[in-house]
Every structure is written in C-alpha cells, then in structure tokens.
C-alpha cells in the first residue's frame, strides 16, 4: 500500500516513545512551533446502550473544536474522520469563530474523511476494516514527522490504528484500561492514600453483590447502596438498591430484582446478567443536603510528569441523578483547591504505572459544618464531556488554566462557562443542522472576541434525530454564562415557533 510502511516488528510501546519530543506542543494555545498533523478520530469505543445509536454520529463531531487550531497555529494540519459526512457549513462555523479568518484559506490544511457507514460500531473499528481508507490516511500522513492520532479513548482498536499508520496515539496503552474501570479506580484511590466511599469492588455475580451489600452496610451504616458496572459510561451503568439498614440476605436478593436503573431502557434482569461478562462495584449511596460532583482534568506526559488541566462542577440529572449532563467552570471556589492534592496523588500513581495523555477524576463533595468533604469516585482514562468545552475556551482566548487559583483569566477577568451535550427541547427535532446554523446567525448567538463572551454550539447532527444540541456558554460570571445558555435555548424555541 502507498504511504509510510510500518517498521517490521514495531511495538506499540516503541511507537508511543515518539510522543516525547512532541509533548511540549500538544496544546490548544496559538503557536508558531514546528509543523504537526493531528488525526482526530472521536470513536466511542465504549459500552453504550442501544438507544444511543442515532446520536453516535453527533458525538463524533464533538471535538471539531480541534479545527480551531488551523487558525491559531499556522503550522498545524488536521485530518478529521467520521462515520458520516460533516456538513460543510458546520466546519465553516467553527473556522469563523475566530474573527478575521477566511475559511477557504484554511481548507488546504483540513481534510475530512467520511466512511458513509452509520452502523452502531466503533468508528476506529470501521476504519480498520477498510484497507483503502487506511491507505488514504497513510498518504495524508506521508512526510509528516510530527503526527499524532487524537482519539476519544485509546483502546485496542486505536492501538491497531496507530501501528497500521505508524503514528503515535495521544492516550494510554490499552493494556492499562483496567485502571479506569470502577474496580480499578477504587484500587488506585486506596494505593494513592485517598480512598473512595465505603465499598467493595471486583464483583462477578449476584452472590458477590449480596455479600458486598452486607459488608458496606455494616461498615458505613448506610441504607441504600449504589451498584456500578465496571465499564459504565456517563452514569448509565449505575443502579440503586433501596434497602433498610442491616438488610437480610433475602431482602437484598429481592431488592436486586427491583433496582432503580439509571438507564431506564434496561431491566434489573439484564443489568444483573451483565455480570456474566463484566464486573461491578457496590458503594454506599452518599447522601446529603448539599452535595456536588466536582471533577479534575489532568494529563500525564511520557516522562511521568503530571499536570492539572482544569476543574469543573459536573451537572448531573437523569432519573436518579446519576447521569452526566454537563459541567460548569470554574469549580466551586470553596473546594476547588481541595481537589488538587488527591488529584495529583492519584495522577502520579497512574503515571507511575505508565498512563499517558488526558484523564479525569470525579469526586463527591458533601458540605458539613466543619467544611466540604471530598471523596474520589471514578477515574476516566479518556476524553469526556468536560474536555471539549475547556479546549474551546482555550482556543478562543489563548489563555491557560491556573492550578493555584482554579481559574482561567483573560486580562484579569475570570472566564466561566456552562456546557452541555444535551440542550434539549422536543420541538428541536423539527430543525436540521442547516436550520440550527441559520438560527445562530439570525439570533446573533455567536462568539464576541471583544468581550470574550458568547455561545459555541457542537453536536449539531443530534438536533434532527434527538432534539438535542451541544452548547458552551462562556461568560464573565456563572450568572452571565447561565443567562447566555438560557438565551440560546429561548432563541431556538422561538425559531421553531415562528416557523409553524
């Protein structure tokens, strides 16, 4: 096949060593540095419920913020791979977020690759099945010394793609994936010296669950417990068992047939059957009058250095308040610094085991008379819902996150945002992505470079199939960000009403 051949006998570990000289330039800030080529492939190679199939194509668009690098960094090329073709107007929308940019002038450095395959399978797997697509990607990467695959998550598929294209992957070795499961997370927390809520991990069947529930109730005095499938995503693998204190085995067994599932398309029977191929953890269900779900985003270098990238408060919803819906930045100032010490300890434990690239650690924060108490609950060894809003803000402002203050300041002003992948209204499904872009223009829902405030949309393809669209509302205060978010939703609702 044409393009750079794969060196005989090359290992994934040797391939990843090529990240070392590139690491200082892996940033969203403007740079005149050496030429680089980014192959962005936002493949959701994770366990997802079937009802998400219609919006997978939209999730693959979630990291189009990377095309902003074409304007910010004149030596950058971007190759963006998707299952379905991306609307050209949508790409132009991103390119024109930065004033003074003529999209046509950047097109030579942007290549869109579409498979026209909307099957409910990981995008990277679909690429690997197509020799001619692989050959095309090799040709596009030909001669580019500083080239990089930027995935949503690094799995065996992404490792195979890296080897097939002789291109390193911005992510950890897939062999380390167990560290990011619910079981692996709890074990890392213990070793790092910051244990999570009372719980038991590595559960493989119903009898294990019953034993674990009894153990957790005895240690914590809790009533209800949270059961989490090891590889659940965005809270959809969680279920609550409602129980009295010191429940008997028969009571626990009965409660497992009546689980309060976060994914309501499933059943208790199917949830428990998952244990045949997966594992689970049981934890005390932490409750409180004032509870929050902060998150710290970090990355580890190939040399084992760990840095904090951002801190957020997650916005949770769903039937039992377990589903990730969005995030607010910055995190609440009363505990934002309290995340840094455990975050760095956990991050250094991961880096010491060979993890590289981006990852996030989620916490539960509860308010007590003596102050906020934080416990880590989950490690995500991948990009996530808090990744693209921060990348977008940094690309638009060229500012850096300050770990000491927990802020990102522009000219002394702390920037804030409210971001979600799920700005929803039932009427939105009557709109097409083209309609959305029309409304954005007509309602002037754009980015104002002078004030450093405005609204940026993403996941446009979800609007027609699910009535959802992603939005990042950037302001100078949480109140302003909320106001911009509300104004964007109102403008879309009015647009639908006016068209009837």
- What string of DSSP letters covers 104-152? HHHGGGEEEEE-----SS-HHHHHHT-HHHHHHHHHHHTT-SSEEEEES
Judgement on whether residues 269 and 303 belong to the same structural domain of the protein: no
**Domain CATH code at residue 378:** 3.30.470.20
- The answer to the question of residue 309 being in a domain is yes
Q: What is the pLDDT of residues 332-366, one digit of tens each?
A: 999 999 999 999 999 999 999 999 999 999 999 99
Q: Mean pLDDT, to the nearest integer, of 294-314?
A: 96
- The answer to the question of residue 388 being in a domain is yes
**Domain CATH code at residue 260:** 3.30.1490
- The answer to the question of residue 55 being in a domain is yes
Judgement on whether residues 209 and 117 belong to the same structural domain of the protein: no
Q: What is the pLDDT of residue 267?
A: 94
Q: Mean pLDDT, to the nearest integer, of 214-238?
A: 92
Judgement on whether residues 156 and 209 belong to the same structural domain of the protein: no
pLDDT exceeds cutoff 90 at 162: yes
Residues of 190-211 as b/e, b for ≥16 C-beta within 10 angstroms? eebebebbbbbbbbeeeebbbe
Judgement on whether residues 482 and 344 belong to the same structural domain of the protein: yes
Judgement on whether residues 349 and 453 belong to the same structural domain of the protein: yes
Number of folded domains in the chain?
3
Q: Which of 55-69, 185-199, 288-302 has the highest mean pLDDT?
A: 185-199
Question: In 170-288, at which residue ranges do the beta strands (DSSP E only) sit?
Answer: 199-203, 225-229, 238-241, 260-261, 280-284
CA 483 to chain centre: 24
What angle (nearest 5°) sits at the alpha carbon of residue 482, between those of residues 478 and 483?
Answer: 115
- The answer to the question of residue 132 being in a domain is yes
Judgement on whether residues 125 and 202 belong to the same structural domain of the protein: no
- The answer to the question of residue 418 being in a domain is yes
**Domain CATH code at residue 141:** 3.40.50
Q: What is the pLDDT of residues 386-401, one digit of tens each?
A: 999 999 999 898 888 9
- The answer to the question of residue 190 being in a domain is no
Segments in 361-432 forming alpha helices (H) = 387-397
As a whole-number percent, the residues of the chain with pLDDT over 70 amount to 97
- pTM score: 0.93
Judgement on whether residues 166 and 75 belong to the same structural domain of the protein: yes
The domain boundary, picked from 237, 264, 284, lies at 284
Question: CA 311, CA 234: separation in Å to the nearest integer?
Answer: 17
Residue 326 structural domain: 291-498
pLDDT exceeds cutoff 50 at 2: no
Judgement on whether residues 56 and 153 belong to the same structural domain of the protein: yes
The domain boundary, picked from 259, 284, 309, lies at 284
pLDDT averaged over the chain?
Answer: 92
Judgement on whether residues 220 and 121 belong to the same structural domain of the protein: no
- The answer to the question of residue 249 being in a domain is yes
Q: What is the pLDDT of residue 461?
A: 93
Question: CA 395, CA 29: separation in Å to the nearest integer?
Answer: 6
As a whole-number percent, the residues of the chain with pLDDT over 90 amount to 78
Cβ atoms within 10 Å of 107's Cβ, excluding its own: 15
The domain boundary, picked from 224, 250, 284, lies at 284
Judgement on whether residues 326 and 475 belong to the same structural domain of the protein: yes
Judgement on whether residues 428 and 347 belong to the same structural domain of the protein: yes
Tokens standing for residue 448: 């104002």
pLDDT exceeds cutoff 70 at 499: no
Q: Mean pLDDT, to the nearest integer, of 321-341?
A: 94
Tokens standing for residue 153: 């998550």
pLDDT exceeds cutoff 90 at 51: no
Judgement on whether residues 45 and 102 belong to the same structural domain of the protein: yes
Q: What is the pLDDT of residues 463-486, one digit of tens each?
A: 999 999 999 999 999 999 999 999
- The answer to the question of residue 179 being in a domain is no
């Amino acid at each position: 096949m044409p393009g750079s051949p794969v060196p005989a006998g090359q290992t994934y570990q040797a391939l990843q060593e090529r990240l070392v000289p590139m690491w200082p330039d892996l940033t969203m800030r403007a740079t005149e540095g050496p030429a680089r080529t980014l192959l962005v492939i936002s493949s959701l190679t994770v366990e997802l419920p079937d009802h998400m199939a219609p919006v997978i194509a939209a999730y693959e668009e979630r990291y189009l913020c990377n095309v902003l690098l074409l304007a910010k960094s004149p030596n950058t090329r971007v190759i963006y791979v998707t299952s379905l073709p991306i609307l050209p107007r949508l790409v132009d929308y991103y390119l024109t977020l930065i004033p003074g940019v003529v999209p046509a002038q950047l097109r030579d450095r942007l290549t869109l690759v579409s498979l026209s395959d909307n099957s409910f399978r990981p995008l990277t797997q679909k690429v690997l099945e197509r020799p001619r697509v692989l050959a095309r990607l090799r040709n596009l990467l030909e001669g580019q010394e500083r080239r990089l695959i930027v995935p949503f998550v690094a799995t065996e598929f992404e490792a195979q793609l890296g080897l097939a294209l002789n291109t390193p992957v911005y992510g950890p070795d897939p062999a380390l994936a167990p560290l990011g499961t619910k079981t692996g997370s709890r074990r890392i927390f213990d070793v790092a010296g910051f244990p999570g809520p009372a719980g038991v991990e590595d559960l493989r069947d119903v009898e294990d669950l019953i034993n674990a529930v009894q153990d957790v109730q005895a240690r914590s005095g809790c009533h209800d417990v949270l059961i989490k499938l090891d590889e659940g995503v965005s809270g959809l693998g969680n279920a609550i068992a409602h129980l009295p204190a010191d429940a008997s085995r028969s009571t626990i067994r009965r409660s497992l047939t009546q689980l309060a599932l976060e994914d309501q398309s499933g059943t208790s029977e199917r949830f428990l059957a998952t244990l045949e191929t997966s594992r689970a953890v049981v934890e005390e269900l932490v409750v409180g009058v004032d509870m929050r779900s902060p998150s710290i985003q970090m990355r580890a270098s190939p040399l084992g250095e760990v840095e904090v990238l951002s801190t957020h408060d997650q916005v949770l919803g769903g039937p039992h308040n377990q589903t990730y819906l969005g995030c607010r930045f910055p995190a609440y100032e009363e505990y934002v610094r309290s995340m840094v010490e455990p975050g760095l300890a956990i991050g250094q434990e991961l880096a010491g085991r060979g993890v590289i690239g981006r990852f996030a650690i989620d916490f539960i924060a509860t308010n007590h008379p003596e102050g906020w108490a934080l416990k880590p609950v989950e490690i995500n060894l991948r990009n996530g819902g808090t990744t693209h809003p921060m990348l977008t803000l940094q690309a638009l402002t060229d500012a850096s996150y300050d770990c000491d203050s927990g802020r990102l300041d522009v000219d002394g002003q702390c920037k804030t945002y409210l971001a979600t992948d799920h700005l929803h209204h039932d009427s939105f499904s009557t709109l097409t992505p083209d309609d959305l872009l029309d409304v954005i223009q007509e309602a002037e829902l754009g980015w104002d470079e002078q004030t450093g405030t405005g609204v940026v949309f993403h996941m446009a393809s979800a609007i027609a199939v699910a009535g959802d669209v992603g939005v990042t509302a950037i302001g100078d205060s949480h109140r302003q960000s909320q106001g911009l978010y509300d104004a964007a939703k109102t403008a879309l609702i009015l647009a639908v009403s006016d068209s009837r």
